[in-house]
Structure 1
């Protein structure tokens, strides 16, 4: 009986505790090396998302201004979903909440400065400079 137990013990295949600990340490080292680079990619994706949202909002704002601008006057009213202004020289802002934006218009209703904030990042657009702000690299 004792002989059979010894044979079973020798014939069993498996890992020792030391081997398992070595494998776990290797996995932890690889994870420690990968986490910073993955974090950089997530931050870069969030910044790109901010810029894309800002560009979409700016485009929609410009379309609404064009659709609601009355030729020969400086008066127009924008839908509440994109902001409010009663005349072309006003600033257009969203109500409280995220995201928020602020647009400055000239006398013809052209956007001269646009700022977009999504809670973490800010994108700023000006005709001469293009996109700047904290969500740009």
Structure 2
């Protein structure tokens, strides 16, 4: 009988206190790690929206170049019609792969067929492309002139504007 009790005392294992100490250490490490991970998630979301905005700028530039080429020798985009801008905006939606009702974009083109300014907005962020740089704003913190209407792509040359609605079913 005493031999069985001695054998139980000699068994190796963790005490309850040791287990609680390990759990407390793990909880402290998790508390330090979670804020760091959320920072990486926010940074990744901002990088993602910049990539989406670059696609919009490239699509607008492609369509601007196409319109400029169609204008003919000696002409520029000042002769562009609202119908041609509507068609270009619809094509830009396809090129930029905008297939959600929760995104929108506007692009202002120069008469020489270059993208002067572009604004891309999704449900979280607004990205403004101007002078070759991209600036990201929180959609709630951005001013009205730094937001694009959702569910549409708008192209503007001078005083002429073309607009196309994003079809989320395609």
- Does TM, normalized by the shorter one, top 0.5? yes
Quote the Cα distance in structure 2 between the aligned partners of 1:23 and 1:118.
44
More helix by share: 2
**1:82 — aligned with what?**
92
Higher Cα Rg, which structure: 1
Q: CA deviation at 1:37?
A: 1.7
**2:4 — aligned with what?**
5
Output one character per residue of 1:42-96: Cα deviation in whole Å (capped at 9) or x when no partner: 111111111111112211221133234412342433262524xxxxxxxxxx897
Decide whether aligned partners of structure 1 residues 114 and 79 sit closer, same or farther in structure 2, where only a CA change above 3 A counts. closer
Decide whether aligned partners of structure 1 residues 17 and 33 sit closer, same or farther in structure 2, where only a CA change above 3 A counts. same
Q: 1:74, 1:107 within 8 Å by CA — same for their partners in 2?
A: no
CA RMSD of aligned residues (A): 2.6
**2:141 — aligned with what?**
none
Quote the Cα distance in structure 2 between the aligned partners of 1:95 and 1:132.
23
**1:89 — aligned with what?**
none
Question: 1 or 2 for the larger relative contact order (CA 8 Å, sep ≥6)?
Answer: 2
**2:65 — aligned with what?**
66
The two structures have a TM-score, normalised by structure 1, of 0.75
- Equivalent runs, 1:114-129 vs 2, <5 Å: 114-127=118-131
Q: CA deviation at 1:107?
A: 3.4
Matched, 1:132 2:135: yes
Instruction: Flag structure 2 segments of 5+ consecutive residues without an equivalent.
Output: 139-170
The two structures have a TM-score, normalised by structure 2, of 0.62
**2:27 — aligned with what?**
28
